[in-house]
Amino acid sequence: MIDFEARLSKVVGESAKKLEKAFGHRTVGDLLRHYPRRYIDLEHPDSFDELEPGQVVAFVATVLDVKKLSFRNNPRKFRVVVTLSDGRATMEAVFFNQYAVSKTPVGSQQLLSGEVSVYQGRLQLASPHMRELPEGKTLADLGRGGGALPIYPAGGGLTSWDVERAVNVALDVVDVFPEPIPTDVRSARGLLDAPTAYEYIHRPRKRSDWVFAQTRLRFEEAFEVQAVFARRRLDSQQRRATARPGRGDGIRVAFEQRLPFTLTEGQAQVAAEIDQDLADTHPMHRLLQGEVGSGKTIVALLAMLQVVDSGGQAALLAPTEVLATQHHRSMERMLGDLAKGGMLGGADEATRVRLLTGSMGAKARQQALLDIQSGEAGIVVGTHALLEETVRFADLGLVVIDEQHRFGVEQRAALSDRAAAADGVAPHVLVMTATPIPRTIAMTVFGDLEVSTLRELPAGRQPIQTNVVPVAEQPAWLDRAWQRVHEEVGRGRQAYVVVSRIGESATDEDAEPPEDDDEEKRPTVGLVELAEALAEGPLAGLRLGRLHGRMPPDEKDAVMSAFAVGDLDVLVATTVVEVGVDVPNATMMIVMDADRFGVSQLHQLRGRVGRGSEPGLCLLVTGAPAGAPARERLAAVAASTDGFELSRLDVELRREGDVLGARQSGVRSSLRLLSVVRDESIIAAAREAAVEALTSGDVPADLEASIRRLEESERADYLERA
């Protein structure tokens, strides 16, 4: 019997080694899940005059001309421009630094597939896949008697043809196909069964074949991932947690009474949801997401105090030292005498907030560890250092993770598992995202969490005005921008200037470079250079500070504090200020080389201003020319302050893999056909079906196997990175 677990070497012989080397495929299943990237519909081939930008096409064309051109600024780099004809019209394909392409024979017939783009007002194919059609063959000869030709992802010395041959051998001999989708789910949604789906995806005879096959396999991917999450949720309902219902006369109530503002409706509602979760004897697993500045921190603090009131401890895990330090400071400030437990001037009912970071001195660290272990510290704020073995909590009741895309599922698990290990009782977990994320991503990346969302901003918040400063066309606007900084400072306000890199090297930190295919990269300004120029020039006379990720922690801290208390007027910083930095008196931000930042990142950055009662102003400085994609991106950020809308846009502008980013662990890397951007309704339906399948108790064996496979690959992925 040959199933998906069978070794490839038993089935395809010699090719097995090459397939493993090229793609890492070891089993028949690996190979059969290597789906065609696209198909050539032999009945309806694409023709040039019907093409549109963004369209993914495949066609056969004749080569009219091949030109090899080098770049002016870098003679070692070159591009090859191939002029193609479909018999009626012509079109160009461009390839970068591919020597072999420059040898393409004029007059040869080529099979091309790729995405249509626009360059200098004309349609072209940039870096398409191109393969010569064997001499004397026509398209019809290539389709295996049917009307469609699969094009496979190639690479590692293997062409699409090679893959196709191996797939055909495997398809012919395999006799058991895994069927993780229960029959009733399949028939309710009109999905193909597994053997048919694999046949149709690899050997379609017509367009509808591969469309139906993709539909079924796409659903399967969503269904398996959601089954993993559904299982985790069910499991966590089986786990025990200590109920932390709080007290009517505790610190939380005292704190609420002295809050200088009333909670927004959204905050009150989410806080109530969390209250309820905490009072339960099953661990909470909740995601709190919200608009930048919507006041997530207060909500988290209320939850932490409720746990403290119930005799437990709460830990807040922050992604950077700057942020951890700031959280620590602002919590102590907000709590006042409520954070002076056992100290002179402390309230009758009070706790302590402790900070633990990797760079603390031995003595401070020792003191923190002691307070954590004795339970004296009710609230512990820290970075990764909190995850270390030496950190022992007296009674950890709640873990809050300020996620900011930087912590994965595994780290979340690490902290709560370790806390649980002692007595089998798990802490409650609250995850916060720094920027809003679209629903599909939330479901795919945080699918094991319940989701609470804060949409509104506190009342009285002035909207942030955002303008693009296009220095290429309007160089004088930049001078005007510096003048505005003087005006703000003159009114007692403060400003940020954000840069994309620190200094000498162009690859330093921090900005996520977007992927416009600029042939010549514009130079960017570094922090050191700019800070010096500003101090001597446009911002002379103002008190300037610098902040970047490579400064020693105590220096960083000193600068942040100085800015927070108003001893500095202007902070020139890298994206270390991106996450959660909160100085309400800062009203203006200038982002240099704004085109180097992603949409959500810019939204997060500008959320640093306009946090008080004064209107905020954000200027996006860019050298990108009018009409460039970067400019459209910036215009979008300027036009909208809706973080959910912008994050959707961000997702659309990036490639799938980048969306899931650092969190691309096992579960996510199993997605081949499913798009977390496009397939929202499929993901939602799959989630419902998965919950039903798992709670019914009648779980197909093949679904159990899929869940195990995904969980294992996630664990392996974690170990690899740890």
Q: How far apart are CA 24 and CA 36, in angstroms?
A: 17
**Helices (DSSP H) in 24-117: which residue ranges?**
28-32
| Minimum CB–partner distance for residue 259 and ligand ADP (Å) | 8
| Minimum CB–partner distance for residue 296 and Mg ion (Å) | 5
Task: Choose the one of ligand ADP, Mg ion, none that binds residue 582, judging by a C-beta under 5 to 8 angstroms depending on kind.
Answer: ligand ADP
- For the chain, the C-alpha Rg in angstroms (whole number) is 29
- Residue number, 537 or 584, with CB nearest to ligand ADP: 584
Mention every residue, 6+ apart, whose C-beta is less than 8 A from residue 262: none
DSSP per residue over 415-476, as a string?
HHHHHHHTTTBPPEEEEEESS---HHHHHHHSTTSEEEEE-PPPTTPPPEEEEEEETTT-HH
Q: Which residues bind Mg ion (CB under 5 A)?
A: 297, 580
| Minimum CB–partner distance for residue 612 and ligand ADP (Å) | 8
Parallel, antiparallel, or unpaired for β 313-317 and 379-382? parallel
| Minimum CB–partner distance for residue 275 and ligand ADP (Å) | 17
- Tokens coding 342: 């056992």
One-letter identity of residue 376: E
Q: What is the DSSP letter of 192?
A: P
- Is-contact 506 606, C-beta < 8 A? no
Task: Choose the one of Mg ion, ligand ADP, none that binds residue 261, judging by a C-beta under 5 to 8 angstroms depending on kind.
Answer: ligand ADP
Q: How many Cβ atoms from other residues are within 10 Å of residue 667's Cβ?
A: 25
| Minimum CB–partner distance for residue 558 and Mg ion (Å) | 22
| Minimum CB–partner distance for residue 303 and ligand ADP (Å) | 13
Secondary structure of residue 284 in the 3-state scheme: coil
- Distance set, CA 137 to CA 66, 103, 561 (Å): 22, 21, 73
- Residue number, 36 or 436, with CB nearest to Mg ion: 436
Q: How far apart are CA 86 and CA 448, in angstroms?
A: 50
Task: Choose the one of ligand ADP, Mg ion, none that binds residue 433, judging by a C-beta under 5 to 8 angstroms depending on kind.
Answer: none
Task: Choose the one of ligand ADP, Mg ion, none that binds residue 610, judging by a C-beta under 5 to 8 angstroms depending on kind.
Answer: none
Q: How many Cβ atoms from other residues are within 10 Å of residue 257's Cβ?
A: 7
Q: Which residues bind ligand ADP (CB under 6 A)?
A: 261, 263-264, 267, 290, 292-298, 458, 580, 582, 584, 607, 611
Distance of CA 364 to the CA centre of its chain: 35
Q: How far apart are CA 359 and CA 324, in angstroms?
A: 12
- Residue number, 178 or 580, with CB nearest to Mg ion: 580
- Residue number, 194 or 288, with CB nearest to Mg ion: 288
Residue found under tokens 């988290």: 300
Task: Choose the one of Mg ion, ligand ADP, none that binds residue 566, judging by a C-beta under 5 to 8 angstroms depending on kind.
Answer: none
- Residue number, 222 or 318, with CB nearest to ligand ADP: 318
Q: Which helix or strand (DSSP H or E) is residue 708 part of?
A: helix 701-721
Task: Choose the one of Mg ion, ligand ADP, none that binds residue 500, judging by a C-beta under 5 to 8 angstroms depending on kind.
Answer: none
- Residue number, 458 or 615, with CB nearest to ligand ADP: 458
- Residue number, 404 or 670, with CB nearest to Mg ion: 404
| Minimum CB–partner distance for residue 444 and ligand ADP (Å) | 23
- Residue number, 376 or 582, with CB nearest to ligand ADP: 582
Secondary structure of residue 198 in the 3-state scheme: helix
- Tokens coding 270: 């989410």
Mention every residue, 6+ apart, whose C-beta is less than 8 A from residue 718: 408, 410, 665
Mention every residue, 6+ apart, whose C-beta is less than 8 A from residue 361: none
- Residue number, 485 or 498, with CB nearest to Mg ion: 498
Residues recorded for the chain: 722
- Residue number, 148 or 316, with CB nearest to ligand ADP: 316
Task: Choose the one of ligand ADP, Mg ion, none that binds residue 263, judging by a C-beta under 5 to 8 angstroms depending on kind.
Answer: ligand ADP
Chain position whose Cβ is nearest to Mg ion: 580
| Minimum CB–partner distance for residue 435 and ligand ADP (Å) | 9
Q: What is the DSSP letter of 352?
A: -
- Residue number, 170 or 454, with CB nearest to ligand ADP: 454
Task: Choose the one of Mg ion, ligand ADP, none that binds residue 611, judging by a C-beta under 5 to 8 angstroms depending on kind.
Answer: ligand ADP
Residue found under tokens 């890199």: 501
- Residue number, 28 or 583, with CB nearest to ligand ADP: 583
- Is-contact 574 502, C-beta < 8 A? yes
| Minimum CB–partner distance for residue 680 and ligand ADP (Å) | 25
| Minimum CB–partner distance for residue 290 and ligand ADP (Å) | 5
| Burial environment of residue 683 by CB neighbours within 10 A (0 to 12, 13 to 18, 19 or more) | buried
Strand partners, 431: 287, 401
Task: Choose the one of ligand ADP, Mg ion, none that binds residue 458, judging by a C-beta under 5 to 8 angstroms depending on kind.
Answer: ligand ADP
Parallel, antiparallel, or unpaired for β 109-119 and 56-70? antiparallel
Distance of CA 567 to the CA centre of its chain: 36
On the CB side of 567, CA atoms within 13 Å amount to 8
Q: How far apart are CA 9 and CA 29, in angstroms?
A: 13
- Tokens coding 384: 């990764």
Task: Choose the one of ligand ADP, Mg ion, none that binds residue 146, judging by a C-beta under 5 to 8 angstroms depending on kind.
Answer: none
| Minimum CB–partner distance for residue 434 and ligand ADP (Å) | 7
- Residue number, 216 or 611, with CB nearest to ligand ADP: 611
- Is-contact 66 102, C-beta < 8 A? yes
| Minimum CB–partner distance for residue 380 and Mg ion (Å) | 18
Secondary structure of residue 67 in the 3-state scheme: strand
DSSP per residue over 81-149, as a string?
EEEEE-SS-EEEEEEES-GGGGGPPTT-EEEEEEEEEEETTEEEEES-EEEEPPTT--HHHHSSSSSEE
Q: How many Cβ atoms from other residues are within 10 Å of residue 591's Cβ?
A: 28
Using the CB atoms, write b or e for 278-308: b if 16+ within 10 Å: beeeebbbbbbbbbbbbbbbbbbbbbbbbbb
- Residue number, 297 or 647, with CB nearest to Mg ion: 297
Task: Choose the one of ligand ADP, Mg ion, none that binds residue 119, judging by a C-beta under 5 to 8 angstroms depending on kind.
Answer: none
Task: Choose the one of Mg ion, ligand ADP, none that binds residue 295, judging by a C-beta under 5 to 8 angstroms depending on kind.
Answer: ligand ADP
Task: Choose the one of Mg ion, ligand ADP, none that binds residue 15, judging by a C-beta under 5 to 8 angstroms depending on kind.
Answer: none
| Minimum CB–partner distance for residue 649 and Mg ion (Å) | 22
- Residue number, 495 or 674, with CB nearest to ligand ADP: 495
Chain position whose Cβ is nearest to ligand ADP: 295
- Tokens coding 602: 């810019």
| Minimum CB–partner distance for residue 222 and Mg ion (Å) | 31
- Residue number, 298 or 308, with CB nearest to ligand ADP: 298
Task: Choose the one of ligand ADP, Mg ion, none that binds residue 11, judging by a C-beta under 5 to 8 angstroms depending on kind.
Answer: none
Task: Choose the one of ligand ADP, Mg ion, none that binds residue 134, judging by a C-beta under 5 to 8 angstroms depending on kind.
Answer: none
- Is-contact 277 284, C-beta < 8 A? yes
- Residue number, 299 or 621, with CB nearest to Mg ion: 299
Task: Choose the one of ligand ADP, Mg ion, none that binds residue 471, judging by a C-beta under 5 to 8 angstroms depending on kind.
Answer: none
Number of H helices, E strands in the chain: 25, 21
| Minimum CB–partner distance for residue 292 and Mg ion (Å) | 8
Please choose, from the candidates 279, 216, 34, 41, the residue with its C-alpha nearest in 3D space to the C-alpha of residue 142: 41
| Minimum CB–partner distance for residue 583 and ligand ADP (Å) | 9
| Minimum CB–partner distance for residue 646 and ligand ADP (Å) | 14
Task: Choose the one of Mg ion, ligand ADP, none that binds residue 485, judging by a C-beta under 5 to 8 angstroms depending on kind.
Answer: none
